[in-house]
Amino acid sequence: MTTTRTITAMSAAKGCVGEDCDVPRPWPLHHIRHRGSLRRLCTSCVLKSNPGSFCTTCLAVLGPGPLTTVAHCSKCPSVCHLTCLPSPDIASRFLCPCCSNPDGFSYYPSTAGAPTEDSEGSCVEKRKTIGAKSAKALLAAARIAAGSVIRAAASSKLEAERKVKEAMVARKRAREMLERALLISKNERERVKQVNGFGIKGLTLPSEIDSPPKKKALQPKIPQIPTQKRVQSREREKWMRFNEPIPMAASMQGSAAVDAKNSTIPQSSK
């Protein structure tokens, strides 16, 4: 698990992250916002990465106003007070210390106040190793780093406020759209209910329109062949009974009875 102590130890072991910085153990390291990112730079790298923010001779931090009494370096944006120049005549061909000695120059030498593990003596003796010029360089670098962090904090605050306002506007817009959708749905349902109350059929809700029609389940067909056979057999039996011949014995008995009746009628009349 990475902790704050681990991150601090890693940053200290890494040292200065400035370009072409070969200081073995830079001290102290400044937190500065450089080129859109937060970095840890030594005092000399802070001053080198912010040319034009201080006088290269007296190491005084310049204000944000227009620079009228300064001489500009002929190779870089560094500046110097005219009063700090040996002669005002060299202002047009002025070269800053970094351009005059690009390989070995440092505003804050590594031996200036850097504590060592094998050093002996009290803290007072260690502080005596920082000279006046190194102290001015340290103060100038600290002021420049503090100003950059303050500007970065202000910029982050403005960005956060802008995003908060955009989020509030988007939330309000989403709420209005949701309320409008609910109102439209409610009005549509009420209209459908009123139309159905007057007896007009055929209107459906939007949800019913979108739903696919339901398919009817197929019912199994009942075979009708046995029923037809039974009906035909009944009809056949009826016709067979209707066409049956009358028996002869029954017909003869019927005729004898008729003759006997006819013979008895005249005798009674005589």
Q: Tell me the pTM.
A: 0.53
Burial 87-117 (b: 16+ CB within 10 A, else e): eeeeeeebbbebbeeeeeebbbbeebbbeee
Instruction: Please state, in angstroms and as integers, the Cα–Cα distance from residue 53 to each residue in 46, 61, 130, 172, 183, following that order.
Output: 11, 6, 23, 45, 62
Q: Of all residues in the chain, what percent are helix, strand and coil, respectively (each to 5)?
A: 55, 10, 40
CB neighbour class for 137 (10 Å; exposed up to 12, middle 13-18, buried from 19): buried
Give the torsion through C-alpha atoms of 83, 84, 88, 89, to 10 deg.
180
* Closest by CA position to 192, among listed 183, 184, 204: 204
pLDDT of the residue at 207: 54
- How confident is the prediction along the chain (270 residues), in pLDDT tens digits per residue? 434 444 344 444 567 777 777 777 778 888 888 777 788 888 888 988 888 889 888 888 887 777 778 888 888 888 898 888 888 788 888 888 888 887 778 888 765 555 554 444 444 444 446 788 888 889 999 999 999 999 889 999 999 999 999 999 999 999 999 999 999 999 999 999 888 876 555 555 555 555 556 666 666 555 555 666 777 777 777 777 766 655 554 555 555 555 655 555 444 443
Rounded Cα gap, residues 123 and 138, in angstroms: 18
pLDDT of the residue at 66: 72
Cβ(11)–Cβ(3) below 8 Å? no
- Which structure tokens are listed for 111? 């031996």
pLDDT of the residue at 127: 47
Cβ(168)–Cβ(174) below 8 Å? no
54 bridge partner residues: 61
DSSP calls for 89-146: GGGTT---HHHHSTTT--SS-TTSS---TT--S-HHHHHTTS-HHHHHHHHHHHHHHH
Q: β-strand 79-81 against 70-72: which pairing, if any?
A: antiparallel
Q: What is the phi/psi pair of residue 52, to 5°?
A: 90, -5
Q: What is the phi/psi pair of residue 54, to 5°?
A: -155, 165
Domain boundary assignment for the chain: 4-115+124-156
pLDDT of the residue at 2: 39
